[in-house]
Amino acid sequence: MTRVPDEPLRLDFLIKAGAIHSMTGRTYRSVGLLGPQIVAASAEPDGLDDLVGRATAVVDAGGLTVLPAFADAHEHLLEASRNTLLVPVDKARSIADFSAMVHEAARAAGPGSWILTSIGWHESNLSENRLPTLAELDAAAPGHPVLARRGGHLAIANSAALRLAGIDAETPDPPGGKIGHLADGRPDGVLEGGAVYKVAAFAPNPGRETLAAALRAGSAAYAALGVGTIREAMISLDDLAAYQDARERDLLAVRVRPLIRVGSELSAEQAIALIRGLGVRSGFGDHRLRIWGLKFVLDGGVEGGALEQPYTNDPAHSGHLNGDPAAMTEVCAEAVRRGWRVGTHAAGDRAVRTLLDVYEAVVAKTGPVPPWTLVIEHALLGDQALRERAVVGGFGVTVQHSLLWNMGSQMLVTWGAERTRRVSPLDEWLAAGASLAAGTDMARPFNPMTNVWGMATRGTRSAGIQGPEHAIDVGTALRLYTMGTAELLGEADRLGSIAPGRLADLVAYPIDPLAVEPGELAELTPTFTIVDGRPVYDPSRRLS
């Protein structure tokens, strides 16, 4: 934006609110935005009135509280966006629900385009306890081929899908598959085994174009929950191309900081070749889309995390490590030398210990590295000794209370009550002096305030309160979810706080999260969200 030198500064937005929490200790009452930046802030509601011009939108909302937009330290936006391309029939509870969802998807889709459902559904969850019929799918989506895959081995196709796949009354069963038939010999749409793929092969894979469009809807859903930045925790190079398409077409409602996957199936030589072939390094991109680093996965999750002690429900099992620590050390050291940051998934305590061995060996090879160069993702389990090693080594940790929230019941079964209650003890990490950044890892839009409530109460979805002694206060939780992530990104000078010179990423709430009981936060959603100086969520049109 260019201005004539002596022309006074005129704001695009002047926002006055009951409280504007900077996250750096200050509370303002008014904030001024120009283009993508915060350019002014005042402790007085009327302190910036001189900066109002004819084009300034003034939002005078004394009842609202404004925070920096959330910055999610670990989430899978592309996976969440991909899911939006599939009809979510796993949520259907009757054939009527199922048909209505297919109908709605067909109505929204281009003429004649394929309608594909999610595969994680089962007829036992439908009140009729049967599969939908070909006729029902025809009626739900006239003119569209419909393929409703159920799990890996069965699907229902409608007439248009069968026609496009060249399947009629005369088509023989494919090897290892079966085409179902009506009494009169015509196909009934039920496909088993190899027959599923005879039809699925005709359904388009989402290309870059489609993925980019899905990112528009996906990122908007996060913005609607107050998220301004997502550290995208694992993508392929093809996914990166989809992100670049979305960025160029200005479809991303949030900032994205991706991690490129270095697969554990690669040998050290292959992994190093991949890294060398990337040709860029951490930090490449712009303020909307910037590569954070590389991603390694060292163990599994609630069912495969590498534990020091056996699983509670299977004393013969203590999880698995992916790959060899010596090879990983070699690859990480090469990555660091080439200017890459590394984030490694380590859920179980044995994985965290092994990862600390690796990271310490890397630093011994490369010399000291800047903060947040070598990052531990999750560290769900661990003890004081491990926490101290992480702090001494300067290895930051991304934390996701939402994993306990979502999978607490499952953890009680696999890891037992004693280990579950000390999953992600944020209080102990902070007491040890650790660098933490908060996020979700839900692979679906998840309300950050539910996560803040969880951090402040240790509440879960279906496992009650787990380890209430590890709760932290709301202010600290908000700081980890804004400034904490900004530090992890190396962008604390422009993200995660509200001050002149910072990027204009703000979220407004109808109550002050710092002034109410944590219980009031569990279902609190934003009034509006601004990212990069633009309203990305504003259902009640407060910003226009």
Chain residues that interact with Zn ion, rule: CB under 5 A: 233, 441
The least CB distance from residue 440 to Zn ion, in Å, is: 9
Cα four-point dihedral sign 443, 448, 450, 452: positive
Separation between Cα atoms, residue 67 and residue 74, nearest integer Å: 20
Name which of 20 and 233 has its Cβ closer to Zn ion.
233
Quote the tokens at residue 523: 């279902």
d(CA 429, CA 268): 32
Question: Least Å distance between CB 135 and Zn ion?
Answer: 41
CB 263 within 8 A of CB 295: no
> Minimum Å distance from CB 446 to Zn ion?
12
**Phi and psi for 254 in degrees, rounded to 5?**
-125, 165
Shortest distance, CB of residue 439 to Zn ion, whole angstroms?
A: 9
CA quadruple 290, 291, 293, 296: dihedral sign: positive
Cβ closer to Zn ion: 28 or 296? Answer: 296
Residue closer to Zn ion, measured from CB, 42 or 398:
398
H runs (alpha helix) in 112-193: 134-140, 159-164
Least Å from the CB of residue 474 to Zn ion: 25
Alpha-carbon gap, residue 98 to 136, rounded angstroms? 10
- Is the Cα dihedral 374, 377, 382, 383 positive or negative? positive
Nearer to Zn ion by Cβ, of 346 and 449: the residue is 346
Q: Give 208-263 as a DSSP string.
A: HHHHHHHHHHHHHHHHTTTEEEEEE--B-HHHHHHHHHHHHTT--SSEE--EEE--
Nearer to Zn ion, 74 or 255 (CB): 74
Helix (H, G, I), strand (E, B) or coil at 192: strand
Alpha-carbon dihedral angle through residues 439, 441, 445, 450, given to the nearest 10 degrees = -50
Question: What 8-state DSSP symbol labels residue 519?
Answer: G
Give the residue with the Cβ less far from Zn ion, 239 or 441: 441
First to last CA, the chain: 21
Identity of the residue, 272 or 297, whose beta carbon is nearer to Zn ion in the bound complex: 297
Helix (H) or strand (E) holding 373: none
Neighbour order of strands in the sheet with 396-399: 259-261, 293-297, 342-346, 374-378, 396-399, 436-438
- Which C-beta is closer to Zn ion: that of 441 or that of 512? 441
Judged by beta carbon, residue 230 or residue 386, the one nearer Zn ion is 230
Angle, in degrees to the nearest 10, between helices 208-223 and 237-248: 70
233 vs 437 by CB, closer to Zn ion = 233
Nearer to Zn ion, 13 or 395 (CB): 395
Q: Is the dihedral of CA 172, 178, 180, 181 positive or negative?
A: positive
**C-alpha distances in angstroms, 364 versus 79, 368, 488?**
36, 8, 22
> How far apart (Å, rounded) are the C-alpha atoms in residues 438 and 140?
43
Minimal distance, residue 102 CB to Zn ion, in Å:
30
Minimum Å gap between C-beta 80 and Zn ion is 11
| Nearest-approach distance from CB 405 to Zn ion, in angstroms | 15
Residue 133 or 322 with smaller CB distance to Zn ion: 322
Question: Minimum distance from CB of 72 to Zn ion (Å)?
Answer: 11
Find the helix or strand (DSSP H, E) in which 385 lies. Answer: helix 384-393
Q: How far is the CB of 403 from Zn ion (least distance, A)?
A: 9
Percentage helix, strand, coil, to 5, in the chain?
35, 20, 45
For the chain, how big is the Rg over CA atoms in Å? 25
Between CA 147 and CA 155 the distance in angstroms is: 7
CB of 76 to Zn ion, least distance (A): 6
Residue 24 CB, nearest distance to Zn ion (Å)? Answer: 29
Closest distance of CB 346 from Zn ion, Å? 12
What tokens were used for 491?
A: 């962008």
CB of 72 or CB of 491, closer to Zn ion: 72
Give Cβ neighbours of residue 280 (< 8 Å, ≥ 6 apart). Answer: 291
